Amino acid sequence: MIRLTKPFGNTGKLVAAVGQGSWKSDSDGESDAIAALRLGMDLGLTHIDTAEMYGGGAAESVIAKAIAGRRDEVFLVSKVLPSNASHRGTLNACEKSLKHLKTDHLDCYLLHWRGSHPLEETVGAFEELKRDGKILSWGVSNFDVGDLQELANAGAVPACNQVLYHLKERAIEHAVIPWCQGHGIAVVAYTPFGQTLAIFDGAGGAAKTLADVASRHGATTRQVALAFLLRFPNTFVIPKASGAAHVRDNAAAQNLKLSPDELAAIDAAFPLGRKPRTLPTI
């Protein structure tokens, strides 16, 4: 199996383009969640994403058990809540995440979304954590171009921007993806299948387009959906899977290369739509 990697922003690292999310993994049953994460690692899904918000640290604790003895294989990401993102609060939150994850460093540490604390406080804390070796890079989540430009104006360039992105929610293609690509920032798609899996519903229309493309490749519609999102050089996906079948399905997307005609057909079936006033989130 191909293990698809891409340069991850300004980190100088090649990171798995198809990773593993962990939202609600603490409620899946610990043994099942651990087994799914370990299988994903075996299949090349070594980019693992979590957050202090997920189960109040419980998801981080599950991941700690999954990566035990294999920490060096993993590009590990966690996030600080905006309410904790003062300078001191960020430092304390990172320490808690490191404790939950049973590691001495994070590969990337994100501000989960923008809150009331000044960005310079959060970024200052991130830079302090980098100097201390507790994080190797930092990024943001749910940032629109205006927020990213504010960081750039202050000379601060995140490694990544993690945003909502799936076939029925392509708003970031208007400006966020091009801006990030121009500034060497990775774009990480969370919830890449949507929340309800409605992308794949129905026998005709858009769902049929996906099914037809999948059939030509001997693939699944989920694999096609992920391959479409990965068509940009700076995009990554972090689908969450709680069972072995879904993990294997996600991993197989690494092998799928869509033709220009297939990309155009999917683009037409799931139209981009107008640029929204505000960046969509969940």
Burial class of residue 181 (count of CB atoms within 10 Å of its CB; 0-12, 13-18, 19+): middle
Query: Which is more confident, 5 or 1?
Result: 5
* Average pLDDT rounded to a whole number, residues 132-160: 97
Q: How confident is the model at residue 202 (pLDDT cuts 50, 70, 90)?
A: low
pTM summary value: 0.96
Average pLDDT of the chain, as a whole number: 95
- β partners of residue 80: 111
- Using alpha carbons only, give the angle 130, 237, 127 rounded to the nearest 5 degrees: 10
Q: Give the Cα separation of 30 and 7 in Å (integer).
A: 32
- β partners of residue 5: 16
* Average pLDDT rounded to a whole number, residues 148-161: 97
- Per-residue pLDDT of 205-263, as tens digits, reads 899 999 999 999 999 999 999 999 999 999 999 998 878 999 999 999 999 999 999 99
H or E segment to which residue 227 belongs: helix 221-229
Q: How confident is the model at residue 198 (pLDDT cuts 50, 70, 90)?
A: confident
Pairing label, strands 160-164, 186-190: parallel
- Per-residue pLDDT of 19-69, as tens digits, reads 999 987 766 788 999 999 999 999 999 999 999 999 999 999 999 999 999
DSSP letter for each residue of 152-207: HHTT---SEEEEE-BTTB-GGGTTHHHHHHHTT-EEEEESTT-SS-GGG-SSSHHH
Q: Give the Cα separation of 206 and 268 in Å (integer).
A: 9
